[in-house]
A and B are shown apart, each in its own frame.
Chain A
Amino acid sequence: MAIVTEAPKAGFRLSMLIYDTRYRSITIQIVVLLLFMAGAAWLVDNTVRNLQALGKDFNFSFLWNRAGYDINQRLVEYTNDSTHGRALLIGLLNTLLVAAMGCVTATIIGVFVGVLRLSKNWLVARLMTVYVEVFRNVPVLLWILIIYAIFTEVMPAPNAFRGEAATSSMVLFDSFAFTNRYAAAPEPLFSRSLGNIDIGIFLISIDLLAIIAAITGGILVNRAIKAHATRVQEATGVRPVTWWKSLLVLFGPLLVVLFALGFHLGYPELRGFNFVGGTLISNSLMALWLALSVYTGAFIAEAVRAGILAISHGQSEAAFALGLRPGRTMNLVILPQALRVIIPPLISQYLNLTKNSSLAIAVGYLDLRGTLGGITLNQTGRELECVLLMMLIYLALSLLISAAMNVYNNSVRLKER
């Protein structure tokens, strides 16, 4: 190994580009670069010529034209007079919404199922195995369709809530109604609202900001109280009682803000064809959310199970020897360690869930694929721009998620010193 023969000092010969290991890698890279550039140029050239032949151009100005179609599920203001660009934004927000909700519930389902699958309870362990295998081995599209069909077929129509002889009734003190179109829930209203700030793209409610500020402030102060308690404990050995202080700072400001804003709930009521006056959460969103959650949950359960099994048996034995009960052993000893094994597959499951949310069109949920890659593409006929833009957005989304999760992964990784 150590005997590195000096290359002969003889002059450079052309064949050395291939046969001399010092130059070969450069040669190969240059060839690869040339091939890559040639390929890219070929594609671009073809595209330009094809566009010319079709008499089309490549520009994104259509995003500023009037969209003309309606979207029923929207997080920010949108009407059919808005632009295609805004429809894109609605779609993107819808994608983010269902992906975020899906990731949270899928994780919860996954952790529970993964732990229960290892449970000593014969029945529960078997049931969980059945759940995991059934959901993992069938296409997610099928689950989306089936769950949506269950929502449509099994839930009552809003009509069933009407009149004296109503066959269905609202639940939880007449505040929630589950129909085969949507779930109607009460919406928060503020009688002394502070209005909105327009930040250009959409409006932000000052009420919401005030509430967030109150909660954040409460949490920060609570932390300070806890830290102070810990300091007192370290100094004196006695921990001061803090629970009532915590309670006060956590909820006090929030209640004050809510009262000041005149918070009350707007209950949905059946008027005309539909419920009005509450928040309507469409079934397409719920079906998609549920389907993605249970499907991805099955995969996460497997990752969790593998993670737990990867923790050496000695850890749980040590915990038992310390007198910890099984539940606390799991919470305090096993799961925190298993987390390190679980997170990398979890990242890829989150990414899969986000990507699978593009199947939303099967249930008519207008996500990014439904607005930009669906209706806008169709109405404007600009498939090249729309599909490329859609790919870029999804790519950016995936990279962001994996970047964020990798930061988290690094923070929980075993720090070797």
Chain B
Amino acid sequence: MSTANAQSAAFVRREMLAEQEPPLSERGVIKWMRENLFSGPLNTLLTILGLAAVFVVINLALPWLLHSVWNANSVAECRAIIAERYGEGAHGACWAVIRERWPQFLYGFYPSSLYWRPLVAFLLLFVALAPVLFAHLPRKMLWFSMAYPAVAFWMLWGGSIWVPVMVMAGFAIGWFAYRVLLPVSGAILASIAAVLAPVIWWLFLSGAVAGALQSVLPIAIQSVSSDKFGGFVLSITIGLCGIAFSLPMGIVLALGRRSDMLLVKALSVGFIEFIRGVPLITLLFTASLLLNYFLPPGSNFDIILRVIIMVTLFSAAYIAEVIRGGLAALPRGQYEAADALGLDYWRAQRLVIMPQALKISIPGIVSSFIGLFKDTTLVIFVGLLDPLKGITDAVRASIDWKGVYWEPYIFVGAIFFAICFSMSRYSMYLENKLKRDNR
């Protein structure tokens, strides 16, 4: 640029102006607030309403929370402490009830010396789930995952180790029968044998063998009967059993629903729609009131087991729909490719379709587990002590804690929230990951 030009026009500035701060309304907190909170009349109104809502909630809850009492032996004592510390008429939370009774909320009436057992079972669950959830872990860990149900059963109910071992042995027998018969008699007979042999084993032999082994090599831990189950141990047990047992059933139902065979399809659809059409509470009623009519006269077993059976049927219908969604999402080419390779139906399902469909379905399965887990609170209506109402009522029935109302609900609600929220976040993370994978 020539200097002559610049000098000739007096109005042309010669030196660069120093960079100025943006105006006050366009920077920092104010800009952010203007853009994010007060960008228009509607937004301003919403912001004010939001602030008002937050204020109301805090105004109600904060003093109550600030006046918390952790050390007391009864509600009356709590109230006395609050009145003494914060003046007459002050309201405060009495967390002392949680402090004193938290084991009951978590473990129900499980013997207190054995609290470690449900805890171990719960922690081992993560070990068992790890290889399923994270693909980079060694595949050998899957063996533990397969053995986990037996381990968990033994940890929770105790008793002789041979009972769960013998149950597991049934599967080994089935697999063995399949392997031995496969070369001799063909796939179909082998499959039939693989189903029949374990059933015969379980029904007629395993009990005796377990008894014999127990007398030879007694390995047993203290057994805990299921009437001691309560609180979150009960919820988690029912929820996990429900979801785990319902998976295979759900897969079968989903395949049945997509089957070409009219009858199979009709039965699957009928079952799924029936279960999905009635509230869980009626199924629980069936478990507690009607199952005795439907089973052979005289047979009678544990209410928890009956509830688990009904919950399994219930969640199987929902899982079936989730998996059906997964199957429908697979591109048609996958089925055709499997056919082109000459795979028969079950091989195609096992090697090509299911691995992909299940992977897509995991988020759906997790969210139906969340739903199921929340629904386990309904078992109170058949007399089981769920954490939300059962244990809370039991705690409130004691004279010391009569009148404690909000604290147990908040405590139980917070635990439910923590569990369900982390699971839903996990399922969202998974969904995002899967989306990227498919791209």
Contacts and interface: CB of A to CB of B under 8 A. Distances in A.
A192 B36 CA distance: 58
A139 B374 contact: yes
Contact of B278 (A124, A137, A398): A398
Contacts of B32: 122
B281 A121 contact: no
A387 B285 contact: yes
Contacts of B47: 121, 123-124
A116 B417 contact: no
11 contacts: A29-B263, A51-B293, A116-B46, A121-B50, A138-B420, A146-B413, A359-B378, A373-B282, A384-B293, A388-B290, A394-B282
Interface stretch (A42-50, A85-93, A199-207, A316-324): A42-50
Contact of A123 (B51, B296, B388): B51
A33 B276 CA distance: 23
Contacts of B416: 137-139, 142
B96 to A, nearest CB: 20
A238 interface: no
Contact of A390 (B54, B282, B378): B282
B377 A142 contact: yes
A362 B281 CA distance: 12
Contacts of A50: 292-293, 297
A358 B46 contact: no
Nearest to A134: B417
Interface centre among B267, B280, B293, B413 (most CB of A within 10 A): B293
A53 interface: yes
* Residue of A122, A139, A395 with most chain B CB atoms under a 10 A cut-off: A139
A36 interface: yes
A399 B277 CA distance: 7
Contacts, number: 152
Contacts of B260: 25
A140 B46 CA distance: 28
Contact of B50 (A123, A373, A387, A394): A123
Nearest to A135: B417
A399 B273 contact: yes
Contacts of A361: 381
B278 A394 contact: yes
Interface of A: 18, 25, 28-29, 32-33, 36, 43, 46-47, 49-51, 53, 116, 119-124, 127, 133-134, 136-142, 145-146, 149, 153, 327, 351, 355-356, 358-359, 361-362, 369, 373, 383-384, 387-388, 390-391, 394-395, 397-399
Nearest to A397: B277
A116 B296 CA distance: 56
Interface residues of B, number: 57
Interface string B11-45: 00000000000000000000010011101001100
A29 B264 contact: yes
Contacts of A25: 260-261
Contacts of A388: 290
B87 interface: no
Interface in B266-290: 267, 273-274, 276-282, 285-286, 289-290
Given A137-B370, A137-B374, 6 more contacts: A25-B261, A28-B264, A121-B47, A124-B46, A138-B417, A398-B276
B35 to A, nearest CB: 8
A29 B267 CA distance: 11
Interface of B: 32, 35-37, 39, 42-43, 46-47, 50-51, 53-54, 188, 260-264, 267, 273-274, 276-282, 285-286, 289-290, 292-297, 370, 374-375, 377-378, 381, 388-389, 405-406, 409, 412-413, 416-417, 420-421, 424
Ranked 6 nearest A-B pairs via Cβ: A398-B277, A137-B420, A122-B36, A355-B279, A395-B277, A139-B374
A51 B406 CA distance: 45
A133 B421 contact: yes
A124 B50 contact: yes
Nearest to A149: B405
A127 B278 contact: no
A124 B36 CA distance: 9
A191 B89 CA distance: 50
Contact of B289 (A36, A127, A387, A399): A387
Contact of A121 (B36, B378, B413): B36
A355 B292 contact: no
Contacts of A146: 406, 409, 413
Contacts of B293: 46-47, 50-51, 384
A358 B43 contact: no
B280 A36 contact: no
B255 to A, nearest CB: 12
A394 B279 contact: yes
A343 B413 CA distance: 30
Taking each of B50, B280, B282, B294, which has the highest tally of chain A beta carbons within 10 Å of its own beta carbon? B282
A365 B274 CA distance: 25
A333 to B, nearest CB: 18
B298 to A, nearest CB: 9
Nearest to A48: B293
A46 to B, nearest CB: 5
A17 to B, nearest CB: 11
Contacts of B36: 120-123
Contact of A358 (B279, B289, B370): B279
A18 B189 CA distance: 10
Given A25-B261, A120-B43, A137-B417, A356 B279 contact: yes
A281 to B, nearest CB: 24
A369 B281 contact: yes
B290 A387 contact: yes
A43 B294 contact: yes
Contacts of A373: 282, 285
B370 A355 contact: no
Contacts of B281: 358-359, 369
A45 B368 CA distance: 35
A32 B267 contact: yes
A399 to B, nearest CB: 6
Contact of B263 (A33, A47, A140): A33
Contacts of B54: 127
A163 to B, nearest CB: 23
B424 A137 contact: yes
Q: Which of A29, A133, A146, A399 has the most CB of B within 10 A?
A: A29
A122 B37 contact: yes
A28 B282 contact: no
Contact of A395 (B39, B51, B278, B374): B278
Contacts of A358: 279, 281-282
Given A32-B263, A362-B389, A121 B39 contact: yes
A387 B282 contact: yes
Contact of A141 (B51, B294, B296, B388): B388
B432 to A, nearest CB: 13
A308 B81 CA distance: 52
B43 A142 contact: no
A355 B53 CA distance: 31
A356 B50 CA distance: 29
